Every structure is written in structure tokens, then in C-alpha cells.
Amino acid sequence: MKQSYDIIIIGAGLIGTSFALSLQNKGLKIALLETHLPNFDKSTEADTRPLSLAYSSQVILNTLGIWSELADLATPIKEVHVSEQKRFGTIHFQAKEEHVKALGYVVPFDALRRVLYQRVAQQAGVTFVPIQALKHIQNSAVGTAVTIDTVEGEKTLGADLLIGADGTHSTTRQLLGIDVTKTDSDEVALTATLERSQPHQQLAYERFTSSGILALLPLRNPNQYRLVWTLQRTLADTVATWSNEKFAAFVHDSFHHRLDDIRVLERGQQFPLLMQLAREHICPGAVLLGNAAHTIYPLAAQGFNLGLRDAVTLSDVLLDAKTNGENWADMETLSRYQKWRRQDQHWITRLTNDISQLFELHVPLLGSLRSVGLLATDLLPPIKHRLAKRFMGMSGRLPRLARGITL
């Protein structure tokens, strides 16, 4: 089969563009297929949702050469305070204890999307292809063909390798015949922007309560936080009827008066939560990345960070295979990527699922054990250090881009 491209990427979102950028200046011919290509020239309202970046993600973006365009918009997270309501145990992570400038950063979603998209568009050999639908995939280790609908009619594109980065409801995954496992949940996430008279001092909170899990991210405005509250849908419907004053009072009480004089600036919508894992991430000639591979709860803000580590690890493996004259689309090569990423993926997906379920159990003795565990972790530096490195994305074998080494 005559190949039109080296790589076809389905989905030009954060993960698809990150993967494309990780292969910059390698002389590759890459097509990014997308049904909704962004138009940053139009006067549309920007998506200012804050996105929490792990420390490793900042290192990766810096190594890719785009952090300088985001740094002025980023809020460093210098400390993270994890606790449970009505229990004495806490974990307090500090950047200085980990010998880094920040444990992570908060950036506006749209700013990151814009920088990634525009930088990829500047790369020689990269083509953005607007499509109306993805129709058919014929994949193999010696070449993959993708049939698409466009405004000009049906077309078929060929490539050595196909990347499915088209989100939770991935058409790529469906056409490849890859099943998923889902964890049914009656939970949703509520968001709100909060403000205090005192500066947040770049401190983030994660608070476990009988009414759900509340996370507070410091924003660029030194007095503002972004709240993400994970809770049961029935309770969320009740909360929707609360006044802003009652909402603020609940947050105040939940954090045991740590957040005095807090007020609500804006309340967001409900977002249904889903844990969905593809049974396979690889098959001959194709790889799933990002939410197409694993959609996880927003606990500890791990979703994008996990997907980014996957993407740059895959580029590491592929470029090594290319250098060694190997077929980068066969299962032997792709299995090296899967083996490399398995432990990190397993740890993060188990973490987000198990924490959510653990704190839903209202068992007195179990609650005491959780508090003892939190306190013990905080008092034992080696354990806390290992846990911090996990959350920072700096645990285990790291790809070169996460170590500050260009490809």
C-alpha cells in the first residue's frame, strides 16, 4: 500500500497536538484529522477553565519549547493540603521539600490549546485535515488506511501508523473494535470560582467530606480559587437550588474555617463523571491516546497529565524504532510502549477510582484508619516523597521529554 503519511492522528485536541509537537523537526509527514478545528481568529468566547498541570507536564511543555508562551498565565502550586473533614489526619506536600519551584501549575485551558495548535501548525510536514466523519479503518502493521467524509466527498488516506486521540467517545476506538470497561457512577462534578480577601499563597486543597470531595485550585488572581466538587447527582440537584451565600457557607464549614470570608463569584455547570478504560491501547498499526484510552475521574487532576506522559513516551519509543530501522507500527514495537506505560497508567487509574470509592464508605473504624494513614504518610518523609513524585508525574522510568531532554 502506498502511504500518504507517516502518521495520521485522529483528534486535534490537547493530546493529539501534544503528540504531533513531540515529533517536531523529525522530517515526518503527519496529518491531524478533526471534525471541529478551532478558529482562533474568530471573536468567540475563550474557554478559560483552569487546567492543572503536574510538574512533569510543565517540564515536557518547556522541553517542547512552548512554556515561555504560557508562563505568564500560569499559577504555580507551591503547596497541597490533603485532609478529611472531622478527622485529624492530613498530608501536606510542599515544593521546597521536593526541591522544585512548584509541585504543578494551573493554566487556562484555551491558552494551552491555542499555543499547542499554533505551534503544530507551524511545523513543516504537518497538515490539519477538517473532516465531517470518520467512516472506516483498515489497520495492519504494514500500513493503515482511513476513510473519511469531507466537504469534498469521501476520501481515503494512508499512513504507517494511526493514532486515536479523539476523546472519550472515540470513533477510532469503535472502528478498531476495541471494547471498554466502564465504572457506572451517579456522581457529577460541580465547579465554581471563589474569592477571599486574603491571598491564596499558591496553596491548593483536597478535602474529603461526607458530601463529596472538594478540590480548590489557586488561580492567577491571588485571591481566587477554582472549586471542583465531586458529589452525588441527587445532592448536586439540591445544591443547584442554594443561594451563593449558602454555597459559600458550606465550603467554609467543609474546610473547618480554614477559608474565612470566602464568597462565590461564579457557579459552573454539572459535569457527569465517568471512569472508562479501553481494554487494549494498541493493535497492529494503531495506538489509542488520551481519553480514547482512559477517561478517569478528575480527582488529583490526573487525566491530561497521564495522557501527556503517554504521548511523549510513545514518541520516544517510535523515534528509537525509526533510528534502529524497525517497523514502528508492528506489535513488537508498540508493545514496548505499552509495557513502559502500564505501571503509571495502572497506578493513576486505580488511585482515582479507589479514592472515590473509599471516601464514600461511612464506616467509623475505616474513617479512623484513613486518618491514621494520612497522618502516618505525612510523618514518614520517604513515603510522602514517593507519593509526591507519583502525583508530580516523576516516578518510575521517565521519557526523555519529561527529563528535559529533546528528542
> What residue has cell string 466538587?
229
User: How far apart (Å, rounded) are the C-alpha atoms in residues 277 and 9?
Assistant: 20
What pTM value is reported for the model?
0.90
Which sequence spans correspond to the domains of the chain? 5-184+275-403, 187-272
Q: Which superfamily does CATH assign the domain made up of 5-184+275-403 to?
A: FAD/NAD(P)-binding domain (3.50.50.60)
pLDDT of residue 41: 66
Output b/e per residue, 350-373; b: 16+ Cβ within 10 A: ebbbebbeebeeeeeeebeebbee
User: How far apart (Å, rounded) are the C-alpha atoms in residues 283 and 140?
Assistant: 8
**Sign of the torsion angle spanned by Cα atoms 309, 312, 316, 321:** positive
The list of the chain residues with pLDDT below 50 reads: 1-2, 300, 354-377, 379
Q: How far is CA 207 from the centre of its chain?
A: 20
10 Å CB burial of residue 388 (0-12, 13-18, 19+) is: buried
pLDDT of residue 156: 95
Output b/e per residue, 104-140; b: 16+ Cβ within 10 A: bbbbbebbbbbbbbebbeebebbebbebeebeebebe
User: How far apart (Å, rounded) are the C-alpha atoms in residues 231 and 130?
Assistant: 38
Three-class DSSP labels, the chain: CCCCEEEEEECCCHHHHHHHHHCCCCCCCEEEEECCCCCCCCCCCCCCCEEEEEHHHHHHHHHCCCHHHCHHHCEEECEEEEEECCCCCEEEEECHHHCCCCCEEEEEHHHHHHHHHHHHHCCCCEEEEECCEEEEEECCCCCEEEEEEECCEEEEEEEEEEEECCCCCCHHHHHCCCCEEEECCCEEEEEEEEECCCCCCCEEEEEEECCEEEEEEECCCCCEEEEEEEEEHHHHHHHCCCCHHHHHHHHHHHCCCCCCCCEEEEEEEEEECCEEEECCCEECCEEECHHHCEECCCHHHCHHHHHHHHHHHHHHHHHHHHHCCCCCCCHHHHHHHHHHHHHHHHHHHHHHHHHHHHCCCCCHHHHHHHHHHHHHHHHCHHHHHHHHHHHCCCCCCCCHHHHCCCC
Sheet bearing 263-272, strands edge to edge: 90-94, 79-84, 203-209, 212-218, 224-232, 187-195, 263-272
pLDDT of residue 300: 47
List, for residues 114-172, the tens digit of each pLDDT value.
999 999 999 999 999 999 999 999 999 999 999 999 999 999 999 999 999 999 999 99
Cell reading at 317: 519509543
Q: What are phi and psi of 367, to 5 degrees?
A: -60, -40
pLDDT of residue 42: 59
Cell reading at 162: 494511526
Domain 187-272 class, CATH top level: alpha beta
User: How far apart (Å, rounded) are the C-alpha atoms in residues 362 and 356?
Assistant: 12
CA distances from 183 to 96, 176, 187 (A): 37, 22, 11
pLDDT of residue 406: 95
Listed residue (343, 349, 104, 345) closest to 203, CA to CA = 104
Listed residue (372, 400, 379, 377) closest to 387, CA to CA = 377
User: How far apart (Å, rounded) are the C-alpha atoms in residues 47 and 403?
Assistant: 30
> What residue has cell string 478535602?
207
CA distances from 51 to 104, 113, 310, 362 (A): 10, 11, 18, 31
